[in-house]
Amino acid sequence: GQNIDQPTEMTATEGAIVQINCTYQTSGFNGLFWYQQHAGEAPTFLSYNVLDGLEEKGRFSSFLSRSKGYSYLLLKELQMKDSASYLCAVNSDYKLSFGAGTTVTVRA
């Protein structure tokens, strides 16, 4: 199996920036995904990284370092609707393995 670690919980203030880290150990790495999941809802796709570097998409950015087995998701200009769980998922041997998720709470 894969070993994927991310913090359990994070809290931040509206308008601030939060960085969610994800470390992984895997063989046959073929990309890393970030998903957002609001409570009681389905996960939805946020970003995909397969090469090293930063991918920016509006208020959300994702970074990957394959040599370090490390990724982060950066959420800027936090809004109340960003309160959700954020799932790091590693593609290995064409199957996704998910971390347990990081619950982000945005306070006014």
Residues contributing to the site for other proteins (CB under 8 A): 1, 4, 30-31, 33, 41-45, 48, 50, 87, 89, 91, 93-101
In the chain, count of helices (H) and strands (E)?
0, 11
Counting other chains too, the contacts that 52-58 makes at CB distance below 8 Å and 24 or more residues apart are none
**Closer residue to other proteins in complex, CB, 60/98:** 98
**Closer residue to other proteins in complex, CB, 68/95:** 95
- Between strands 102-107 and 9-13, the pairing is parallel
Counting Cβ atoms within 10 Å, is residue 64 exposed (0-12), middle (13-18) or buried (19+)? buried
Q: How far is the CB of 14 from other proteins (least distance, A)?
A: 27
Q: How far is the CB of 102 from other proteins (least distance, A)?
A: 10
Q: How far is the CB of 1 from other proteins (least distance, A)?
A: 6
